[in-house]
Amino acid sequence: MADAPAGVRPEVRRTLRRVPELVQAGLVPPEAEAALAAVAARYAIAVPPELAALIAPGDPADPIGRQILPDAEELAPAADEWADPIGDAVHAPVKGLVHRYPDRVLLLPTLVCAVYCRFCFRRERVGPGGAEGLTDAELAAALAYVRDRPAIREVVITGGDPLTLTPRRLGGIIAALDALSGVRVIRLHTRVPVAAPERIGPELLAALSCDKALFVALHANHPREFTPAATAAIRRLTGAGIAMLGQSVLLRGVNDDPATLEALMRAFVEVRIKPYYLHHLDPAPGTARFRTSIAHGQSLMRQLRGRVSGLCQPDYVLDIAGGFGKSPIGPGYLSAAGDTITDWRQRRHPLAGDGIERQRPS
Ligand SMILES: *Cc1c(COP(=O)(O)O)cnc(C)c1O
Ligand code: SF4
């Protein structure tokens, strides 16, 4: 960094995982090195080239940097934060599988990701060190659990990021699920198309090919993540006949203003991805700098409803701490008593219980 002129950063050519590398790349200031080394000892770091290139030099508030660069605050958790905020452990009947709802399960074959998001709700578990993926025997046990329960119609492959698996390993898992007659839908949750778009190649596409309805849910939080390379990777997925969904986390200082949230939802839809969920931030340790209030989230959702197409509207959801599952958190348009309804321009209309509006708006 010493020989680079101000405002110019050396190009990042491979994924950065160590604090000295981040300093050298000009992504964090040298004086922060010691404090960030302590963070790195506890939580995994991965800053891939595709995302590193998006971070504005010298801007500590950059919305991409904020998501993926470590911060000393991570080691100072607030009192109300939880190591397992959504209660995975409460509903894990076999290793690598979470069964909370009757008709669907999560399968976590790996805990490795292409990028480690600083706000991750599984941050105490994800990462390369110690947290290996499932062994063949453990995977077989998880698949047997699904096979023996015909009520399970959908398997959501997550982690970690399943698209970091080798095409061979992922292909084996997809083929095994494809062979289970009870499983009708396979879904994968990933950040790879924006974090490491080069991974979406012919071998990975072949691994995803199956007879079941296959959905890929892309996790992206800022419109800038839709780079030309990411957009091309998404086109390769949709071009292969894969249906895609968008999921985002509402993050203070990243996407919690009306213009950014609108641009993010439009960016999804313009590459043929249907926004599915906007997650309210889960209280994982050391994530207070990303927190917003539910009232603020509802206000943003109201503004989104008033400004953009229904295609761009995700469900705003909260995963109830302790393992109780996700619930939509509004905003509601029907009054609590059910006798008025609000329109997209925030005007209220009287309403009878049968849903018929009996008066003109005042
Ligand atoms: C989020 C989640 C799912 C998927 O829920 P959808 O609302 O169908 O997206 C399934 N199982 C568990 C344990 C989950 O946390
Ligand atoms: S990609 Fe997903 S699982 Fe991995 S760190 Fe980010 S939020 Fe967590």
Per-residue pLDDT tens digits for 15-64 = 999 999 999 999 999 999 999 999 999 999 999 999 999 999 889 999 99
Domain spanning 89-328, CATH architecture: Alpha-Beta Barrel (3.20)
Ligand 2 centroid – CA 184 distance (Å): 26
Percent of the chain scoring above 70 in pLDDT = 95
Active site residue 319: yes
Mean pLDDT, the chain, rounded, equals 93
pLDDT at 251 over 80: yes
d(CA 238, CA 218): 12
Tell me the mean pLDDT in the region 224-247. 98
Ligand 2 centroid – CA 278 distance (Å): 15
Atom of ligand 2 lying closest to residue 116 CA: 5
Active site residue 235: no
User: Strand ranges (DSSP E) for the chain?
Assistant: 97-101, 104-107, 154-157, 185-190, 213-219, 243-249, 274-279, 315-320, 325-328, 340-342, 348-350
Active site residue 282: yes
Percent of the chain scoring above 90 in pLDDT = 85
Active site residue 187: no
Residue 189 pairs with which residues in a beta bridge? Answer: 217
Determine if ligand 2 sits within 6 Å of the CB of residue 192.
no
- For residue 281, the model assigns a pLDDT of 97
Tell me the mean pLDDT in the region 75-87. 85
Determine if ligand 2 sits within 6 Å of the CB of residue 290.
no
Q: Mapping DSSP to helix (H, G, I), strand (E, B) and coil, where does residue 334 land?
A: strand
pLDDT tens readout for residues 3-12: 445 567 888 9
139 HSE (CA, 13 A, CB side): 17
Active site residue 312: no
Determine if ligand 2 sits within 6 Å of the CB of residue 117.
yes
pLDDT at 2 over 50: no
Tell me the mean pLDDT in the region 230-250. 98
- For residue 361, the model assigns a pLDDT of 53
More confident residue, 360 or 197: 197
Determine if ligand 2 sits within 6 Å of the CB of residue 281.
no
Active site residue 113: yes
Determine if ligand 1 sits within 6 Å of the CB of residue 106.
yes
Query: Closest ligand to 102 CA?
Result: 1
Closest Cα to atom 6 of ligand 2: 117
Determine if ligand 1 sits within 6 Å of the CB of residue 98.
yes
- pLDDT band at residue 283 using 50, 70 and 90 as cut-offs: very high
- For residue 195, the model assigns a pLDDT of 98
279, 319 Cβ separation under 8 angstroms: yes
Ligand 1 centroid – CA 106 distance (Å): 7
- pLDDT band at residue 360 using 50, 70 and 90 as cut-offs: low
- pLDDT band at residue 1 using 50, 70 and 90 as cut-offs: very low
- For residue 93, the model assigns a pLDDT of 94
pLDDT at 323 over 90: no
Domain segments of the chain as ranges = 19-75, 89-328
Q: Mapping DSSP to helix (H, G, I), strand (E, B) and coil, where does residue 104 land?
A: strand
177, 147 Cβ separation under 8 angstroms: no
Of the candidates 303, 77, 119, the one whose C-alpha atom is nearest the C-alpha of residue 221 is 119
Among 50, 68, 69, 122, say which to mutate for ligand 2: greatest number of ligand atoms within 8 Å of CB.
122
- pLDDT band at residue 84 using 50, 70 and 90 as cut-offs: confident
- For residue 79, the model assigns a pLDDT of 82
